[in-house]
Amino acid sequence: MQPMADALAATGRRICNIDYPSTTATVTALARKVVLPAVRQCQGDTDTSIDFVTHSMGGILVRVLATMDQAPTIGRVVMLSPPNQGSELVDRMGNWPPFRWWNGPAGLTLGTDPDSLPAQLGPARFNLGIITGTRSYNPLFSSWIPGPDDGKVSVASARLDGMQAFRTVDASHTFIMRNAEVIELTRRFLQTGHFDATEP
């Protein structure tokens, strides 16, 4: 995420590039014990709203954060390739030991069934723009994912009720945050609440 962070910092924003151990705990535990304290530290003594830019599971983390009583005020959010409707890959490979080891307890909650974490979180409660990719370098994974996808998340799965803007780009899941068009769209949404330059 560093190129994205650098580009947004160049606009005068204060940036906190938060890392989290995604394979060691559930999404809810990560949101409560890692992300929330990091956000509070970043926020400092101010009580202003905080904008978020997330990649993949990070979007689910922010959705969980939004449900917490002690969460900060969330401003605008840009999610990059989020599995908002769950991941067909989790459905397909969730019981495979290598997959469970690689993705940890957090990733295993991101299936598409009605009891999965994404299905339980409901619509967006904040000003949300979503960008997702349509380029895949993994034909096997893509054969298991219905419709266009970025190699890990389908375009359909990235959508979320309550979003204000949605855009697809010719980028893969792993490196979408480094795409120049994505960086510009993200900057624009955080500034205006829109992806289109012609909108106010």
**What pLDDT digit, counting tens, does each position of 73-130 carry?**
899 999 999 999 999 998 888 777 776 666 777 777 888 999 899 999 999 989 999 9
> Domain 2-192 class?
alpha beta
Other Cβ atoms less than 10 A from the Cβ of 121: the count is: 18
Q: How many residues does the chain have?
A: 200
The list of the chain residues with pLDDT below 70 reads: 99-102, 198-200
How far apart are the C-alpha atoms of 153 and 190, rounded to whole Å?
Answer: 23
**pTM of the entire predicted model:** 0.92
The stretches of 19-56 forming alpha helices (DSSP H) are 27-30, 36-43
Give the rounded distance of the alpha carbon of 154 from its chain centre: 13
Q: What's the rounded Cα separation, in Å, for the pair 198 and 126? A: 23
> In the chain, where are the structural domains located?
2-192
Cβ neighbours around 143 below 10 Å, total: 10
CA distance 63 to 52: 11
